[in-house]
Amino acid sequence: MDNLFNRIIAREVPARIIYEDDQVLAFHDVAPQAPVHFLVIPKKNIATLNDLQEEDKALAGHLLFTAQRLAKALGCEDGFRVVANCNEKGGQTINHLHLHVPGQRQMTWPPG
């Protein structure tokens, strides 16, 4: 599966990386929607949230835990949002599972 996020993982495309381990990569969004806005992606090729399998439960938890830990480290203790767009109608534009984590501003509801 070739996509922008796999090219970022392979360091073929530059990104402002803020965290990496053997399972996930986190980097600042290129078009931030909040003072803090980063993405957390699995290194495993998973196209959408719908494509998670039973074997991916620990990875899914690790994605969320990483998002929480980084949000706190980047000064979002007062609140942040975690968004996983799924498929075209859900707003997903890159077919690689990813979490958006915006923070340091008041979030509104509904998001749009």
Active-site option among 37, 96, 98, 100: 98
What is the C-alpha to C-alpha distance for residues 63 and 46, in angstroms, rounded to an integer? Answer: 13
What does the H/E/C string look like for 45-104?
Answer: CCCCHHHCCHHHHHHHHHHHHHHHHHHHHCCCCCCECCECCCCHHHCCCCCCCCEEEEEC
Give the closest residue to 46 by CA, choosing from 9, 82, 21. Answer: 9
Would residue 62 show up in a list of annotated catalytic residues for this protein? no
Please list the active-site residues: 98
